[in-house]
Amino acid sequence: MARTSFEELRVYPLAERLADEIWNTVALWDTFAKATVGEQLVDAADSIGANIAEGAGRGSYRENRRYVRISRGSLYEVKHFLRQAYCRKLVDEQQVGRLKPIMDELAPTLNAYLQSIGTRRPRSAAESEQTEGSGP
């Protein structure tokens, strides 16, 4: 499968890595924990990368920014469910220690990506020439 533009972003592999680490962690839990906190945690983690991809595929800066914001919300949802998992002794400090650096890097990287997305399509050279030749 050919790579698409979102896969070239620095933020996307971080989102994938976090989702994979969370999947591997939750896969070890008992049935009740998986069906409650686990499913929510995996869904939120998977949503980060999925929304980056969807936003990139929407074709407009506005939609892309919207989906990156949703990704950021999903990251905060992951943080919430990890706190719940820790309080309920589903994850230990070592597991959190593996996930925290990824999340600590992902949050500012998502914010930087959001800032890098323009607010409108840049004008082509032809469009610039047309408007420069027009009167006031």
3-state secondary structure of 88: coil
**Where do the DSSP E strands lie in 21-127?**
none
Predicted pLDDT at 59: 83
Assigned domain for 28 exists: yes
**pLDDT tens-digit readout, 21-42:** 999 999 999 999 999 999 999 9
Residue 53: domain span: 9-116
pLDDT category, 3, cuts 50, 70, 90? low
Residue 81 forms part of a structural domain: yes
Decide if 122 is inside a domain.
no
Q: Please state, in angstroms and rounded to a whole number, the distance separating the CA atoms of residues 53 and 57.
A: 6
pTM, two decimals, is 0.83
Mean pLDDT of the 2-13 span: 84
Return the exposure string of 69-103: e unless at least 16 CB atoms fall within 10 Å of the residue's CB, then b.
Answer: ebbbebbebbeebbeebeeeebbeeebeeebeebb
Read off the CATH number of the domain in which 81 is found: 1.20.1440.60
How many domains does the chain divide into? 1
Q: How far is it between the farthest Cα atoms of the chain?
A: 71
